[in-house]
Amino acid sequence: MTQGSYKQFCPVAMAAEILCTRWTMVLLREMLAGSTRFNDLRRGVPRMSPALLSQRLKELEQWGVVKRVKGGEGGLYEYHLTTAGQELQPVIEHFGCWGQRWIESKVSLDNLDVQLLMWDMRRSLDLKPMPRKRSTIQFQYTDAPSGQRTWWLVVAPGNDTDLCSLNPGFDIDLYVSSDLKTMTAIWMGMETVRHAVNSGCMKLVGDKQLASNMQTWLGLSPFAKEKRMVA
Amino acid sequence: MTQGSYKQFCPVAMAAEILCTRWTMVLLREMLAGSTRFNDLRRGVPRMSPALLSQRLKELEQWGVVKRVKGGEGGLYEYHLTTAGQELQPVIEHFGCWGQRWIESKVSLDNLDVQLLMWDMRRSLDLKPMPRKRSTIQFQYTDAPSGQRTWWLVVAPGNDTDLCSLNPGFDIDLYVSSDLKTMTAIWMGMETVRHAVNSGCMKLVGDKQLASNMQTWLGLSPFAKEKRMVA
DNA sequence: CAGTATCCGATGCGATACTG
DNA sequence: CAGTATCGCATCGGATACTG
């Protein structure tokens, strides 16, 4: 919504006034995914300016969708969804499923974003098939903007997974290298690790075990299972 | 969305680019409700300018959501939802249900719009409890803008219901008069005909039968049944 | 870390009028 | 009926820098 109210009593119109402002649905998706801190939200919505993020959070708070609370430790602020906000989960989910089904994949694969991809991947890793020790996996994107070519995921049982854009200095258990489009396609469920490796688009070097079950420990996008309806 | 693309591969972001432009969700709601002709869409989205309506329809056509086809008779153009468009039905429905549950009713009742109300009511009338002859019902809104105070619904079995803003000249079977807020509240399921009449906010004069079962033949908003969570 | 302040440009879109 | 054309303003929001 660019300007003003629709002045319509219809609930669809009223909901649209709240939800259809720029970045709002994307922000809510990140909140529903679990981010609560300002800078975590920034990482999940990298192209949104901090000024606008701050403004949107305030608006959503006014609408009763978000609540700003002092976090337990350190007294840092956190943004939580209210009950009304949590009930947006099916709305966002339908949005995403519809997008996955009906928006051409080549359009999706034109909108690559390393930082967002890594941030999303970090969240969905499945630790169960991984070794029960700390593992460090290095991702190298041949075609990413300089300064964003190399990333590290440090996975340790019991801890939150760390995403680093600077070398954390640990021994690397697995080196993954591919172009950004390939990794994104895998994440979106349009491609598989096996096929990407066989076709030479992806290279895995290091721990055999980690390499062979990468498709398993690498969780996919929440929408990856939705069947695509268009080429 | 005010400007440009989100440049995010996430399906939520991509869907938002298509759906979260001004008026788009409201327009889609009207199309899902069954309107196909340009001027019918205008009536359902009265405050949207024809230029913008035309533009949105073209955009939706490009996205494969809408298809412009020559209508059977007269060769007039009609806008139909594609399969992708029809699959937006649950999205819109969730939007509306969420709005009905969580947006304060006093906000809804600040956004009164006679024309839209009558157009929506016309669509949802339930003919079964009505006499099996032509009935004309006059609605008088004491507080509507001048020129929009009086409306007529002409209901005839077998025909589409006609909505007139000029006196069609038939004998009136039932006179309904109330303020706009009362009728809107009834339509939205926040109020009942009986209660409005008893409290003096609504007057019914004419055919006893028609008056007594008005709550039945007057269909309500598709979202009226959704339980409100806030005062 | 968690935001604010400021500035300015692009453009979305509202209003109105007009056409085939 | 079914749109198009034009104009101009408001405002949204991107970029950048700064603060407690």
For residue A98, give Cα distances in angstroms to A11, A191, B194.
21, 19, 42
- Evaluate if the CB of B5 falls below 7 Å from strand C: no
Distance A42 CA to D20 C1' (A): 20
- Evaluate if the CB of A54 falls below 7 Å from strand C: yes
- For A9-58, write each residue's pLDDT tens digit: 999 999 999 999 999 999 999 999 999 999 999 999 999 999 999 999 99
The pLDDT of residue A125 is 96
B84 contacts A101? CB cut-off 8 A: yes
C-alpha A200/C-alpha A218 separation (Å) is 19
The pLDDT of residue B231 is 61
pLDDT category, A1, cuts 50, 70, 90?
low
The pLDDT of residue B10 is 96
CA R_g for chain A: 19
Q: Along the 231 residues of chain B, how does pLDDT read in single tens digits? A: 556 899 999 999 999 999 999 999 999 999 999 999 999 999 999 999 999 999 999 999 999 999 999 877 777 899 999 999 999 999 999 999 999 999 999 999 999 999 999 999 999 999 999 999 999 999 999 999 888 999 999 999 988 899 999 999 999 999 999 999 999 999 999 999 999 999 999 999 999 999 999 999 999 999 999 999 976
End-to-end CA distance of chain A: 30
The C-alpha of A90 sits at a distance from chain B's nearest C-alpha, in angstroms, of 7
pTM, to two decimals: 0.95
Residues of B in contact with A230 (CB under 8 A): 64
pLDDT category, A231, cuts 50, 70, 90?
low
Question: Higher-confidence residue: B179 or A2?
Answer: B179
- For A5-18, write each residue's pLDDT tens digit: 999 999 999 999 99
Pairing mode, strands A135-141 and A150-155 = antiparallel
- Find and list the nucleotides of strand C having atoms within 7 Å of a protein beta carbon: 1-6, 10-17
Residues of A in contact with B26 (CB under 8 A): 6, 8, 10, 12-13, 16
B90 contacts A94? CB cut-off 8 A: yes
B95 contacts A19? CB cut-off 8 A: yes
The answer to whether the beta carbons of residues B102 and B230 sit under 8 Å apart is yes
- For A85-117, write each residue's pLDDT tens digit: 999 999 999 999 999 999 999 999 999 999 999
B166, B167, B173: which is closest to B135 by C-alpha? B173
C-alpha A124/C-alpha A42 separation (Å) is 18
C-alpha A150/C-alpha A141 separation (Å) is 6
- Evaluate if the CB of A38 falls below 7 Å from strand C: yes
**Chain B, nearest residue to A88 by Cα:** B98
Query: What's the mean pLDDT in A126-135?
Result: 94
Closest residue (CA to C1') to nucleotide C5 in the complex: A51
- For A181-229, write each residue's pLDDT tens digit: 999 999 999 999 999 999 999 999 999 999 999 999 999 999 999 999 9
What are the beta bridge partners of residue A139?
Answer: A151, A176
- For A142-182, write each residue's pLDDT tens digit: 999 888 999 999 999 988 899 999 999 999 999 999 999 99
The pLDDT of residue A145 is 86
Query: DSSP for chain A?
Result: --SS------HHHHHHHHH-STTHHHHHHHHHTT--SHHHHHHHSTTS-HHHHHHHHHHHHHTTSEEEEE-SSTT-EEEEE-HHHHTTHHHHHHHHHHHHHHS-HHHHTTS--HHHHHHHHHHH---TTS-SS-EEEEEEETTSPTTSSEEEEEE-TTSPPEEESS---SPPSEEEEE-HHHHHHHHTTSS-HHHHHHTTSEEEEE-HHHHHTHHHHS---TTTTSPP---
The C-alpha of A110 sits at a distance from chain B's nearest C-alpha, in angstroms, of 8
The answer to whether the beta carbons of residues A180 and B7 sit under 8 Å apart is no
The C-alpha of B170 sits at a distance from chain A's nearest C-alpha, in angstroms, of 31
* Residues in Cβ contact with A60 at an 8 Å cutoff, skipping those fewer than 6 apart: A18, A24, A27, A28, A66, A85
The residue written with tokens 């409700």 in the block is B33
